Chain A
Amino acid sequence: MIRLRLVPRVQPSRAMLFLAPVLAVALTLVVGLAVFAWLGQNPFKAFRVFFVDPVSDMSGMSELLLKASPLCLIALGLAVGFRASIWNIGAEGQMYMGGIFATGLAIYFHEASGAWLLPAMVVAGALGGALWASITALLRAQFHANEILVSLMLTYVADLTVKYLVYGPWQDPQANNFPITVPFSDNALFPLFAAWGWDWFEGTRINASVFLTVAAVPLAWLFMERSFLGFQLQVTGLAPGAARYAGFPEKRMVWMALLISGAAAGLAGVSEVAGPIGQLNDRWAPLYGFTAIIVAALGRMHAFGIVLASLLMALLYLGGEAVQITLQLPKAISQVFQGLLLMFLLGCDVLVNYRIEARPRVEGLAP
C-alpha cells in the first residue's frame, strides 16, 4: 500500500507557480472532452467547434479581443485588491454602474453632442464604478463590514437599478415597451477600427475601447510591481502583521484597492455600452465581473499573466456561444468550464507550497 502525503516545501516553488495554471487548463480540457463525449458528441469535433473555429477568422479574432478587453481591465483592478487580501467580488455591479453613468450622459446629450461626449462618458463610467465601490470601501474601512458580502449585495442592487432604468425613465419611447434605451449617437460610441479604413478589420465589431485596456496593462504593471503603494498592498496581503508593524495605513489600503478596482470595472462597463451594445438594456449581464475573478487568479495577479488569462477566458465565452449554435448545447457550459478551471487551479496550487511524497504504509504504527 502506497500512501501519498503532502510535505511542506522550504520555499514556494517558482516553477510550480507557472506550471499550476498550465496544469489546471490541461485538466479542464480533459474533463471538458469527457463531458462532450458523455453528451454524445464527438469530443474532437466539439473541441474544434469550441476552441478553434471561433477564432479561425478575423471577425472571430476581433470578437475575442472585444471580450478579453473588459475581462482584462476588470481583472487588473481586482488583482490590486486581491494582492492585499481585499476581496472585492462586486466588480459586476461596479461595471453596471459604469455603464449606467456613461449611458446617462449619452442619453442626456443625445441631440446636442460633440467629440467631447465619448471622453466624458469614459470619465463618468470610471467615476460611477469607483463611486459604487466606495460604498463598500466606506463600510469596510469605517465599520469593518465584510467587503465580500457588501460588494456582492450591491451587485444585486446595481442589477436592479439597471432594470429599473431601462423599464422606466430611460426606456426608449419608440421601442414598443422593450426594456432598452435609445441607441447611442455616433459621438457616444467608440469608433470601429473598420471605420478608420483599417482594411483588415472590415466587417468586424472591434472598436477603440480596447485601447483603454492596452493603456491599462503597463500602468497596472508599474503600479503593482514598481510603486511603493503597490508594495504596501502586497505586504498587507502577504504579511498583515508586518504591514501593521511598518505602520502602513490600513484604511487607505482598503480605499485604494476598492477605488481602483471599481474604476476599472466602471471603464469596462463603458466599453460595453458604448461599444458592441451601443445602448443600455436589461439583458446585459455578461458576468464579466465574476469571470474576471478567475482571470486574476489564473493570471497569478500579475499584469502580463492577466492578459493571457483574459484571452483564454474570452475564448471560453466564444466557445460557449459556438457550441450553442453548432451543437445545440446550452451556453452555460462555458460557466461550467470556468468554475472547473478555477477549482483545478486552486487544487494545483498545492504544488507551489507542498510536494507530494509517496511512501509505503507501515502497518501497526501510529500515523
Chain B
Amino acid sequence: MIDSITPLLASAVALAMPLILAALGELVVERSGVLNLGLEGMMLVGALASFAAVAHGGGLAAAVPAAMAAGVLAAMCFGFITLTLQANQVAAGLSLTILGAGVSAFLGRQYVGFRAPASFDELPIPVLSKIPLLGPAFFSMSLLGYATLVLLGATTWFLYRTRAGLALRSIGESPVVARSLGLRVNRVRYAAVAFGGAMAGLAGCYYAVAQFKMWQEGLTSGNGWIALALVVFATWRPLRVAIGALLFGGVSAFGLYLQAIGVQVSTFALASLPYLATVLVLVIISADQQMIRRHAPTSLGKPFHDDS
C-alpha cells in the first residue's frame, strides 16, 4: 500500500507547488483589495521568459529573475490601468490574460520543440528524504519547490506578523479608512500587484524549467485560473491555499496513477479532472454565502480613486 502511495504523494506535491506560488501571489493582491484575473497571462510570460533565459545559455540563475521580471512587467500594465486609470478590474484582468497568451505565443514561436538545456531537478536532502512516505514528497523536491515552502512561510509571516502586512490587509478591507490614517492606498496596491506578478512569473518558471522542461503555446493550460479558484477555496488564507493546492495536486496525480496501473480511463476524462474538481470546490465553498462574505476582503475589486 505504502509503495503506491509514496509516488502518488510525491507527484501530488510536485504538481501543487506552482499552484501554491501563483495563488499566494494572488492572495496578497486580493488581500489589498485588487482582483487580478490575469494570473494565467502573467504565468505564461513568466514561463516564456525563464525558458528563453535558459535557452540562451543564461542558466538557472537567469531563469528566475527573468520570469519574475516578466511577471512584474505584465502586472504593472494591469496595475496602471486599474489603479491609476481606474479601469474595471475584471475586464482588465481578462485583457492581461489575452495579451499575455498572445505575446508569449508570438515571441515563443522560435522555442517550440526544444528541450530546456538546464532545469531544476530533484535535490534530495540527505537523511530527511529517506523518511518513509513524506521524505520523497517533501524532502526530494527541486530548488523551486523548497523555495515555494519558504515563500509560503514568509508570506504568512508578512501578512499576519508585520506592520506592513496589517496595513495591506486594512487597505483591502477599507481603503477610505486606511487613507484617512495616512496610508498610501495605491502605492501599497501597486506593490501588492507587483508581488503577485513576480509570484505568477515564478509559477510559470516552474512549469517551463522544472516540470515540463520545454515551452509551448498555452503551457500553463488553465492552472492560473485554478490558482484563482484556490484563493477563494482557501477563504483568503495562505496555509489553506497550500492545503487546497495539495488536494488539487492529489486529484491530478491520482489520474496519472490510474493510468499508470493500467485502468482503462479515457485520457480526456482524466485531463478534465482538475477543472471539474475546481468547479466542485467552488460550489462547496460558495454554497455558504456567509463564509465567503466573512472572509473576502471587503473592498475586493472596487476601484479607489486616491486623490493625492
Contact = CB atoms under 8 A, between A and B. Distances in A.
Given A146-B232, A164-B269, A330-B109, A342 B292 contact: no
A293 interface: yes
Interface stretch (B53-61, B77-85, B235-243): B77-85
B87 interface: yes
A149 B282 contact: yes
B86 A161 contact: no
A90 to B, nearest CB: 11
> Looking at chain B, what size class is its interface with the partner chain?
35 or more
Contacts of A290: 98
Interface in A117-155: 139, 143-146, 148-150, 152-154
B292 A144 contact: yes
Nearest to B218: A285
Nearest to A85: B90
A342 B286 contact: no
B222 A144 contact: no
B162 interface: no
A346 B279 CA distance: 29
B86 A153 contact: no
Interface in B85-142: 85-88, 90-92, 94-96, 98-103, 105-106, 109
Contact of A293 (B94, B100, B292): B94
B286 A144 contact: yes
14 contacts: A89-B94, A145-B279, A153-B222, A168-B266, A297-B91, A332-B217, A334-B102, A339-B96, A339-B102, A342-B94, A343-B77, A346-B85, A347-B87, A350-B86
Contacts of A294: 95, 98
A367 interface: yes
Contacts of B283: 139, 143, 145
A148 B90 contact: yes
A342 B102 CA distance: 13
A153 B102 contact: no
B88 A149 contact: no
Interface in B1-58: 37, 41
A157 interface: yes
Contacts of B103: 336, 339
Interface string A335-359: 1111110110011011001100000
A297 B232 CA distance: 27
Contacts of B275: 153-154, 156-157
A131 B228 CA distance: 25
A184 interface: no
Interface in B270-290: 271-272, 275-276, 278-279, 282-283, 286-287, 289
Given A146-B232, A150-B282, A342 B305 contact: no
A294 B97 CA distance: 12
Interface of A: 5-6, 8, 87, 89, 139, 143-146, 148-150, 152-154, 156-157, 160-161, 163-164, 167-168, 290, 293-294, 297, 330, 332-340, 342-343, 346-347, 349-350, 353-354, 367
Interface in B172-223: 217, 221-222
A343 B105 contact: no
Contacts of A168: 266
A86 to B, nearest CB: 11
A339 B99 contact: yes
Contact of A153 (B98, B109, B268, B276): B276
| 6 A-B pairs closest in CB distance | A339-B99, A335-B102, A332-B105, A342-B95, A164-B268, A346-B87
Nearest to A291: B98
A339 B95 contact: yes
Given A332-B106, A354-B86, A367-B308, A156 B272 contact: yes
A163 B80 CA distance: 39
Contacts of A167: 268
A153 B106 contact: no
B248 interface: no
Contacts of A144: 286-287, 289, 292
Nearest to B104: A332
Given A156-B222, A157-B276, A297-B91, A149 B228 contact: yes
Contact of B98 (A148, A149, A163, A338): A338
A96 to B, nearest CB: 13
Contacts of B109: 330, 332
Nearest to A336: B102
B264 to A, nearest CB: 13
B256 interface: no
Contacts of B95: 294, 339, 342-343, 346
Contacts of A149: 225, 228-229, 232, 278-279, 282
Contact of A346 (B92, B228, B282, B308): B92
A161 B229 CA distance: 22
Contact of A342 (B91, B105, B269): B91
A348 to B, nearest CB: 8
A2 B225 CA distance: 41
